[in-house]
Amino acid sequence: MVGLGLTACIRPCLAQQVVERYENVEGFLRIGPESERRIPMTERGYSLLLPDGAPATVAGVAVFIDPRRFQASPLQLEPGSFDSEALGRNLAVLHITTGDPLDFLFEEIEVEELADRIGAVLADVGLQGAPVFLAGLSLGGTRALRLAAYLSASRDTRPFRLAAVAVVDAPLDMARLWETEQRAAKLEFHPAAADEGRWVTYLLETHLGGAPEHAAARYAEFSPFSHSAPDGGNAAHLRDLPIRAYHEPDVDWWIENRRKSYYDMNSIDLAALINQLRVLGNDSAQLVSSHARRAGYAEGASPHTWSIVDNGELVEWLLSHASGAGPPEMQSLPSR
Annotated domain spans of the chain: 7-172+242-329
What is the reported pLDDT for 72?
A: 62
What is the reported pLDDT for 158?
A: 78
- What is the pTM (predicted TM-score) of this model? 0.92
Q: Which CATH class is domain 7-172+242-329?
A: alpha beta
Cβ(149)–Cβ(202) below 8 Å: no
Phi-psi category of 138—alpha, beta or left, where left has phi over 0 and alpha has psi -120 to 50?
Answer: left
What is the reported pLDDT for 26?
A: 97
What is the reported pLDDT for 16?
A: 73
> Mean pLDDT in each 10-residue stretch from start to end of the chain (336 residues)?
39 66 97 97 97 96 97 77 96 98 97 97 96 98 97 81 97 98 98 98 98 98 97 97 98 98 98 98 98 97 98 98 60 29
